[in-house]
Amino acid sequence: MARPADPHAHEALRSAARREFVKSGIQKARIEDITHACGLSKGAFYLHFDSKEGLFRELVSEVEAELEELRTVRERHTQDFLARHGSVKPKDLKPGSAFVRALRSLHTREDQKLLELLWRWRDVVDVLLSGSQGTAFDGVMWRIIDREVVRVQEECEALKAVKLMRDDIPGEAVGLLLVGTYLLVARRLSSLEEKPDFDVWLTALQKLLAEGTAPRPHTRATRSSPFAASPRRAPPRAARGSRRSHP
């Protein structure tokens, strides 16, 4: 055999690309800038990746896999917790009960893991959020977000069912609120150099939400959500327009 490939090249290209994507978005990021950043030439790029989007796809797949993993683990931990505890007893409904505190701490731990993930992938998340327009990744982040909103919503409905949450606030409202907050936080992460202290943040959010959503003595039923079953806009596609639509 002859001339082994530079062992650092692949990884160097990957991380240079991440930097370049953050700076310019997927479309505007130029292959030459990526390769020059690691002292390689344009052509070398194609020895390691099939295309610019192919490289980004690698990154996105990893993020999606980790997110999926997190979702299933969260689901399992919640199931385990409930199974271990048995049925919900009246004393568990009291605001400060051991049960409520344990459940809340479970949520905090899982949310913390989510924030850690967002921190590790903050660059890619940032690109997905605002630098993927016109590519195959357009909308990936919003799909993830919609799913998370639904997850929170379902958790809320479950809590309402066992009277651990007031039922005059739509679960969807809490979902939009929680996920919307995380969205802004995720966005801010991309401009930080050092990892912030998530605890401060989580406790504040936790407090606010816990006390805002706590069961009330007198509550009316939830009115139906104004955003139910919204049809998402069609994915970008070439449009053959009809002529003369305004005469």
CB of 17 to a copy of itself, least distance (A): 12
Write b or e for each residue in 209-243: b if 16 or more Cβ atoms lie within 10 A of its Cβ, otherwise e.
beeebeeeeeeeebeeeeeeeeeeeeeeeeeeeee
Instruction: Rule CB under 8 A: say whether 134 interacts with a copy of itself.
Output: yes
From DNA, a copy of itself, none, interface partner of 5 (C-beta below 5 to 8 A by class): DNA
Q: Which lies closer to DNA via its Cβ, residue 55 or residue 124? A: 55
Q: Does 201 bind a copy of itself (CB under 8 A)?
A: yes
Task: In angstroms, give the least distance from the CB of 36 to a copy of itself.
Answer: 5
Which stretch in 50-58, 72-80, 87-95, 162-170 sits in contact with a copy of itself by CB under 8 A?
162-170
In order, the DSSP letters of 5-68 are PPTTHHHHHHHHHHHHHHHHHHHH--HHHHHHHTT--HHHHHHH-S-HHHHHHHHHHHHHHHHH
> Taking CB under 7 A as the criterion, which residues in 34-93 touch DNA?
35, 39-44, 46-47, 51-53
Of 60, 125, 149, 156, the one binding a copy of itself (CB under 8 A) is 149
Contacts of 167 (CB under 8 A, 6+ apart): 160, 219, 221, 222
Residues in binding contact with a copy of itself, number by CB under 8 A:
80
Q: Kindly tell me which of 72 and 245 has the beta carbon lying closer to DNA.
A: 245
Q: Nearest to residue 179, comparing CAs of 205, 199, 149?
A: 149
User: What are the residues binding DNA (CB under 7 A)?
Assistant: 1-6, 9, 28-32, 35, 39-44, 46-47, 51-53
